[in-house]
């Protein structure tokens, strides 16, 4: 292969026997369930460009974040503008909300997206330079009930997909005043351990010490295990918000664990943060997460409206489905495969093929002149439910023989009854 696929990305093909999670029928299944649950919870779809002005991510995500400082795909276009491939979904949604003045359409906007994200990082299992995400954003509601609804949506999604043994972690990272007080206490605690921290965390100690709490480095995690808790620095209003969130989760019987070290990786979060993990994913075990980011919209030049949301990786969802042997649909396959013998039969079969599809019956037909044995073998490969060999004899008699491929059972029926046989009309339901 002269031009193989670049590292860190992958193809999604109809059925991948080596890496089943790259099979498109599984992606279609997950995306179908996502769209169903988004509808059930009142979310409408939004689609934003693959790239935005680099300044959008610098202002929202933070210039010192790993995403902006290390991971973005940034380039200069022919007009001299600095553009970046979308590394996360929230900032583009906020930009679109402001640009299209969606607050003038309705005071509350509940939006979702299924989109590709791009981050340059070391390619490894569970981490890709292009990954796909389902995200939900709510603009205009500040109450803890809204945080609970988002968590409920995420948990119900995983449950509908058959995922098990998941853990929900929640935390509050407070408002600006809470974080300023906590940041100083954390720096004071970490200062004596500075030389023992990882190189990245030594840099973060001065720039943004809260990020050290989210470090995956073993040395860092041992040090922060005994650090002060941000929960001890919350204002009365923020503490009340967090307690109410827990009350609403209890009401919905959603189990959770409070994790004071959970801060999420983006600068715009405040108050509620949450994350769902799955042990089946190994080291990269975060399945999805989010929180509240009041103030982000106004920081980007929009109205000062409260915002909250989450993102969950579709790759990781599918890998967890397969690792846990959750129920999955079979790949799509034709109900009927038509095999005409002769030009006359080919014309009739071709017209029949159109009629079957018009009636919603997935059908295919042999267009070449392969031997019957090879054609039947191909019909079996694509998992056709039935095959129908039609020639002059069948046309003259107006009678055909359906063969069920799985069992070999054959059934003769009048040609005129084929559509009804493959798509029987449902009996009307009696309503009381």
- Read off the pLDDT band of 432 (50, 70, 90): very low
- Read off the pLDDT band of 101 (50, 70, 90): very high
- Read off the pLDDT band of 425 (50, 70, 90): low
- Read off the pLDDT band of 390 (50, 70, 90): very high
Q: What is the pTM of this model?
A: 0.89
* Three-state secondary-structure class, residue 226: coil
Strand stretches in 72-207, DSSP E: 74-76, 82-85, 109-118, 130-139, 166-172
Mean pLDDT for 1-26 is 92
Contacts (Cβ under 8 Å, ≥6 apart) of 180: none
User: DSSP label at 107?
Assistant: S
User: DSSP label at 1?
Assistant: -
* pLDDT tens digit sequence for 269-309: 899 999 999 975 555 688 999 999 999 999 999 999 999 99
Could you tell me the domains of the chain?
20-175+235-323 (3.30.930.10), 336-422 (3.40.50.800)
User: ∠198-293-254 over CA atoms, to 5°?
Assistant: 90
Strand order in the sheet with 51-53: 51-53, 82-85, 74-76
Q: State how far the alpha carbon of 108 is from the alpha carbons of 48, 97, 150, 203, 289, in Å.
A: 19, 11, 14, 40, 22
Query: Which pLDDT score, from 0 to 100, does residue 285 have?
Result: 82
CA distance 98 to 302: 5
Nearest to 209 by CA among 172, 261, 170, 276: 261
CA distance 169 to 155: 12
Q: What is the DSSP string of 114-138?
A: EEEEE-----BTTB-SEEEEEEEEE
Mean pLDDT for 302-327 is 95
CA distance 58 to 152: 31
- Percentage of the chain surpassing pLDDT 70? 95
What are 38's two structure tokens? 């988004």
Query: Which pLDDT score, from 0 to 100, does residue 430 have?
Result: 43
Query: Which pLDDT score, from 0 to 100, does residue 289 have?
Result: 95
Helix (H) or strand (E) holding 352, with range, is helix 343-358
Query: 389: which strand partners?
Result: 339
User: ∠161-162-163 over CA atoms, to 5°?
Assistant: 100
CA distance 159 to 238: 30
Q: Looking at beta carbons, which pairs linking 376-385 to residues 24 or more positions away fall under 8 Å?
A: 376/339, 379/337, 379/339, 379/405, 380/405, 382/333, 382/334, 382/337, 383/330, 383/331, 383/333, 383/334, 384/333, 384/334, 384/335, 384/336, 384/337, 385/333, 385/334, 385/335, 385/336
Query: Which pLDDT score, from 0 to 100, does residue 216 have?
Result: 81
Contacts (Cβ under 8 Å, ≥6 apart) of 406: 385
* pLDDT tens digit sequence for 38-78: 999 999 999 999 999 999 999 888 776 778 878 899 999 99
Mean pLDDT for 122-128 is 69
Q: Exposed (0-12), middle (13-18) or buried (19+): which is 202, by Cβ within 10 Å? A: middle
Residue bearing the bigger pLDDT, 208 or 398: 398
Query: 291: which strand partners?
Result: 273, 309
């Amino acid at each position: 292969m002269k031009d193989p696929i670049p590292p860190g990305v992958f193809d999604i093909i109809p059925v991948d026997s080596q890496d089943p999670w790259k099979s498109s029928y599984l992606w279609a299944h997950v995306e179908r369930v996502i769209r169903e649950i988004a509808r059930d919870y009142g979310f409408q779809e939004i689609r934003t460009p693959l790239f935005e002005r680099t300044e959008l991510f610098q202002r929202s995500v933070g210039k010192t974040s790993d995403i902006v400082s290390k991971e973005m795909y940034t380039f200069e276009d022919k007009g001299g503008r600095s553009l970046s491939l979308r590394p996360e979904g929230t900032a583009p949604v906020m930009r679109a909300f402001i640009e299209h003045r969606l607050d003038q359409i309705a005071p509350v906007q509940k939006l979702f997206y299924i989109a590709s994200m791009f981050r340059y990082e070391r390619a490894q299992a569970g981490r890709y330079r292009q990954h796909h995400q389902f995200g939900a954003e709510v603009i205009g509601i500040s109450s803890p009930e809204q945080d609970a609804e988002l968590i409920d949506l995420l948990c119900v999604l995983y449950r509908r997909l058959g995922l098990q043994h998941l853990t929900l972690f929640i935390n509050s990272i407070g408002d600006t005043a809470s974080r300023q007080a906590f940041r100083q206490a954390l720096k004071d605690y970490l200062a004596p351990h500075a030389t023992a921290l990882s190189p990245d965390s030594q840099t973060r100690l001065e720039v943004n010490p809260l990020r050290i709490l989210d470090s995956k480095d073993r040395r860092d995690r041992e040090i922060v295990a005994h650090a002060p808790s941000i929960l001890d620095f919350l204002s009365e209003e923020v503490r009340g918000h967090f307690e109410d969130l827990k009350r609403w989760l209890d009401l919905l019987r959603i189990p959770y664990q409070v994790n004071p070290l959970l801060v999420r990786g983006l600068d715009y979060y405040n108050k509620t943060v949450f994350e769902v993990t799955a042990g089946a994913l190994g080291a990269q075990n975060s399945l999805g997460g989010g929180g509240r980011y009041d103030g982000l919209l106004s920081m980007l030049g929009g109205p000062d409206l409260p915002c909250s949301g989450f993102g969950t990786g579709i790759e990781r969802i599918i890998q967890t489905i397969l690792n846990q042997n959750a129920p999955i649909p079979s790949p799509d396959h034709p109900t009927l495969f038509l095999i005409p013998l002769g030009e006359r039969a080919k014309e009739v079969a071709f017209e029949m093929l159109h009629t079957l599809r018009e009636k919603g019956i997935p059908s295919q037909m042999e267009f070449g002149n392969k031997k019957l044995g090879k054609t039947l073998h191909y019909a079996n490969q694509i998992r056709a439910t039935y095959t129908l060999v039609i020639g002059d004899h069948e046309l003259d008699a107006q009678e055909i023989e359906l063969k069920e491929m799985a069992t070999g059972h054959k059934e003769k029926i009048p040609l005129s009854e084929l559509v009804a046989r493959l798509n029987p009309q449902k009996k009307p339901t009696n309503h009381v």
